[in-house]
Amino acid sequence: MTLLSAKDIKKSFGDLEVLKSINIEVEKGEVVSIIGPSGSGKSTLLRILTGLETADSGTISIEGSTGLVFQQFNLFPHWSVMKNLVDPQVCVAKKSLAEAEKTAREILAKVNLADKENAYPCELSGGQQQRVAIARALAMNPDILFFDEPTSALDPEITAEVLKVIRQLAEQKMTMVIITHEMNFARGISDRVYFMENGYWIAQGTPDEIFENSSNERVSNFINKLNQMV
């Protein structure tokens, strides 16, 4: 079942053409990773797919709801962890307070933060804050969960705890679209991988096709350069 279909998506900011006729489809239960250099249009695409930006042209069809996990967590700093999870459910999803709190506690337990419900973001590590952000998105029960470089703001030492949560979601067949610079992670978790540069796909395929057997020299050089930095 196709949950997301976007066709001929174009977006410009002034004279800068950011997206050039992008097409993408995502099936239910599929994990799709988007890789490529900074400034290639990846984040703009995710913002369009989740309704935070409007495309200049093209069509988007989404079956169900979406959730987005940002690079910088975007938690409300003056709210506790519990309130960050509960208020969107009550205000947007129109759940009762009791139901929202029950859902929040169940999801916090899944991301190993059951003991942090009364903590504030400033009292948490970056990895813990990002796991709260993931939990907040999951509490809204999205059909597709989007991640915009979820580990880019984290120290390498604590990146693993966030990636572990995302891997667990993949094992549970959560439909996900992930922008990442973690090449080994993308190779291990993805059903399909798209490589974006200058606002369009220059390669797409299975992880093996992209990471092991790519005939595209630009893709191979990009992956090799990132791997050398690890």
* Residue ranges per structural domain of the chain: 1-64+143-230, 69-142
Contact (Cβ atoms closer than 8 angstroms) between residue 150 and residue 166: yes
Q: Where are the alpha helices (DSSP H) in 32-96?
A: 42-49, 81-91
pLDDT bucket at 201, cuts 50 / 70 / 90: very high
Other C-beta atoms closer than 10 Å to the C-beta of 58 total 16
Residue 206 identity (one-letter amino acid): T
Domain 1-64+143-230: give its CATH code: 3.40.50.300
For the chain, counts of helices (H) and of strands (E): 8, 9
Residue 179 identity (one-letter amino acid): I
CA 57 to chain centre: 23
Residue 170 identity (one-letter amino acid): A
- Mean pLDDT for the stretch of residues 176-204: 93
Averaged pLDDT score across all residues of the chain: 92
pLDDT in tens, 93-106: 999 999 999 999 99
Core vs surface per residue 162-172: b (16+ CB within 10 A) or e? bbebbeebbee
| pTM, to two decimals | 0.92
